[in-house]
Chains A and B, each alone.
Chain A
Amino acid sequence: MMKTIVPVLFMIFFFSARAQVVEVCPTCEISSIQQAVDMAANGDTIRIKAGTYKENEITIIDKSLYLIGEDYPVIDAQMKGTALTIRAEDFSVEGLKIINIGTSHTSDHAAILVSGSKNFRIERNRLENIFFGILVEKSSNGVISRNRISSKAVSQAKSGNGIHMWNCKDLTVDNNTVKGVRDGIYLEFSENCTISENLCEANLRYGLHFMFADHNKYLDNTFDNNGAGVAVMYSKFIEMRRNLFRKNWGPASYGLLLKEINDAELQNNIFEDNTIAISADNTNRINYINNEFRGNGYAVRIRGACYKNVFSENNFISNSFDVSYTGNINENEFRRNYWSEYTGYDLNKDGTGDVPYRPVKLFSYLVNRTPEAIILLRSMFIGLLDFSEKVSPVFTPAELTDDYPQMKKIKW
């Protein structure tokens, strides 16, 4: 008796301990992904061969599986519901191409929905013609990397977000490309996430959007030609470094929109050709260091209720308006910046101009009050006005000066 049981037990042990590989292809015995998922055991790998799988609502619950697509098998959700729903720990989704996610006004259909999960990787997937791309909720410790997401969003109400994170922790989102959705990457109530080296372009609303998401950082990203590059709203302790904000322009376009932000850090970012590079509304204790503003309509627009913001060692190069300012000085500071419009001199050659620079022009104040006055931009009369205001400030805050304007472009 024992002689037969031991090997059987041994075999059962052997097979369950070693992860199996389940193969799926359109002509195989297992021809649907859901079938494969149902058959697979914890820790198994599912290899999906090239082909088209017309499936939706593939559900993985409490199974740690590794889905690997070979040569980008296509999962066509045929505009019906979510393609792939996962609630598990330790899983990965790799190399799939998911297309045709239908729009809905009542539920958020996504290409990949991850809910209540931990320790996962979503890599190298291509999502096309989608509503929501990767929707992650109540999850932690995940990596979303090298995915390509694109869609053709037309109106804000009828489109979803590329990578949407709600109530998440410790996620890493890197090297993704998101194009033509509503918000490229969206974080809400999420903490400790790192968004790096992504490219968000031609999105309808924002390239990257934070809502009530504290302690996050985004680094080395490119935001090109979005409704607004990045919107950071109602969040604290956000780190923004080495990002490029380009060509976010249009009637209401911003490079970076800050609203009710505290204690953030902006460093080494480049703002190029935006209508408004930074619009700051109700922001406190933000350090802007070593950023470059080049060829924007407004470089920095400070609306009301901003306290203790520090701009130091930034380059302001050929912007129509360097700074537009509403309200009192409120302990905001500008110091040691380079201003291409600075006309002062440096007698002792220490690299710092001897005359303080006033970044706020009377005209920008006028335009704030009477927006139509923008039509007089660059007229000689406005030049005269700006000059007289520079000599004796009446309307613009007199203390708002850069007392140590740099003579040369700052390098970092």
Chain B
Amino acid sequence: MNVIIMIVPLIGTIFGVMYYYNSREFTQLLLAQPVKRSSIFLGQYFGVAISLSLSLILGLGIPFAAYGLFKSPAIWDFTMLLITGLFLTLIFSALAFNIALSNENKIKGFGYAILLWLFLAVIYDGIFLLFLVYFQDYPLDKFSLAASMFNPIDLSRILILLKLDISALLSYTGAVFKQFFGTPLGTLASIGMLVVWVILPLYRLKKVVGKKDF
């Protein structure tokens, strides 16, 4: 699970940034041709994101399939794992493209990208926890629901957790989360949130690309 939660976003970010910077000159050449800007950049993005997703699906899928996944009842949990992995790849490569577009300086771009990953993967949870500890006298369940919705890594972690580690989460405070994330509505809402997380960076990508001078 940690592979999905930590490594997949990291790879998405690094590869996204790297690909953009490496192909910058080629992109500039392409821009001179009569091709729509959005199709160049969206094409590049989807090229990276889809190949990463494919490698994730094949890389996780083949060993599990060889292990006898199709006969085991865990197949739905595994599908959930793959779906969240896919979303994380899409989200983080989109974010990486945004960062790379906004920073001409390669080193700066890489720095921001890794910082973003670090922030969402680790620091966000730290701040979140501090908040919870400081304001523990207040009812926090709604807040923590919202806070976990706003971080794609947290959101996918919880979605996977609900499939795996359900019993601890179910203790009396976990009931609120279970009630929300466990229902079809909650699952839909969280997947919707992940979709929003894909669409927003893409939208910005398109807008910036339309105006940017190269």
Interface residues of A (CB under 8 A from B): 249-253, 273-276, 295-298, 320-321, 366, 369-382, 384
Distance between Cα atoms of A272 and B166 in the complex (Å): 13
Question: Do B174 and A251 touch (CB < 8 A)?
Answer: yes
Distance between Cα atoms of A379 and B5 in the complex (Å): 9
Of A252, A295, A381, A384, which contacts B167 at CB under 8 A?
A295
Question: Do B171 and A297 touch (CB < 8 A)?
Answer: yes
Interface residues of B (CB under 8 A from A): 1-2, 5-6, 121-123, 125-126, 128-129, 132-133, 136, 140-141, 143-145, 148, 154, 157-158, 161, 165-175, 177
Chain B residues closer than 8 Å to A379, beta-carbon distance: 5, 125, 154, 157
Distance between Cα atoms of A297 and B123 in the complex (Å): 26
Distance between Cα atoms of A372 and B131 in the complex (Å): 11
Chain B residue nearest to A248 in the complex (CB): B167
Question: Do A382 and B165 touch (CB < 8 A)?
Answer: no
Question: Do B6 and A374 touch (CB < 8 A)?
Answer: no
- By CB atoms of chain B within 10 A, which of A295, A320, A382 has the most? A320
Question: Do B125 and A381 touch (CB < 8 A)?
Answer: yes
- Report if A371-B173 is in contact (Cβ < 8 Å); known contacts: A273-B167, A377-B165, A384-B122: yes
| Known contacts A366-B133, A374-B168, A381-B129, then 15 further A-B pairs from the complex at CB < 8 Å, ordered by chain A residue | A249-B166, A249-B167, A274-B167, A275-B167, A275-B171, A276-B171, A371-B173, A372-B132, A372-B143, A376-B128, A376-B129, A376-B154, A377-B168, A378-B161, A380-B125
Distance between Cα atoms of A372 and B157 in the complex (Å): 16
- By CB atoms of chain B within 10 A, which of A249, A379, A384 has the most? A379
Distance between Cα atoms of A102 and B56 in the complex (Å): 60
Question: Do A375 and B144 touch (CB < 8 A)?
Answer: yes
- Report if A370-B140 is in contact (Cβ < 8 Å); known contacts: A276-B171, A375-B158, A380-B122: yes
Chain A residues closer than 8 Å to B144, beta-carbon distance: 372, 375
Distance between Cα atoms of A377 and B159 in the complex (Å): 12
Chain B residues closer than 8 Å to A382, beta-carbon distance: 125, 129
Question: Do B133 and A369 touch (CB < 8 A)?
Answer: yes
Distance between Cα atoms of A273 and B165 in the complex (Å): 10
- By CB atoms of chain B within 10 A, which of A320, A321, A372, A374 has the most? A372
Question: Do A320 and B167 touch (CB < 8 A)?
Answer: yes
Question: Do B168 and A250 touch (CB < 8 A)?
Answer: no
Question: Do B122 and A366 touch (CB < 8 A)?
Answer: no
Q: What's the nearest-Cβ distance from chain B to residue A281, in Å? A: 15
Distance between Cα atoms of A275 and B172 in the complex (Å): 10
Question: Do B161 and A372 touch (CB < 8 A)?
Answer: no
Chain A residues closer than 8 Å to B128, beta-carbon distance: 376
- By CB atoms of chain A within 10 A, which of B121, B125, B126, B154 has the most? B125
- Report if A375-B148 is in contact (Cβ < 8 Å); known contacts: A251-B172, A252-B172, A380-B125: yes
Distance between Cα atoms of A296 and B170 in the complex (Å): 11
Distance between Cα atoms of A378 and B161 in the complex (Å): 8
Chain A residues closer than 8 Å to B158, beta-carbon distance: 375
Q: List 20 A-B contacts (CB under 8 A).
A: A250-B170, A251-B170, A297-B170, A298-B171, A366-B133, A370-B136, A371-B171, A372-B173, A374-B174, A375-B144, A375-B145, A375-B148, A376-B128, A378-B157, A378-B165, A379-B157, A380-B122, A381-B122, A381-B123, A384-B122
Chain B residues closer than 8 Å to A298, beta-carbon distance: 168, 171
Chain B residues closer than 8 Å to A381, beta-carbon distance: 122-123, 125-126, 129
Distance between Cα atoms of A253 and B171 in the complex (Å): 7
Chain B residue nearest to A251 in the complex (CB): B175
Chain B residues closer than 8 Å to A375, beta-carbon distance: 144-145, 148, 154, 158, 177
Chain B residue nearest to A318 in the complex (CB): B165
Chain B residues closer than 8 Å to A276, beta-carbon distance: 171
Chain A residue nearest to B136 in the complex (CB): A370
Distance between Cα atoms of A390 and B145 in the complex (Å): 29
Q: What's the nearest-Cβ distance from chain B to residue A257, in Å? A: 13
Chain B residue nearest to A383 in the complex (CB): B2
Of A250, A252, A295, A366, which contacts B129 at CB under 8 A?
A366
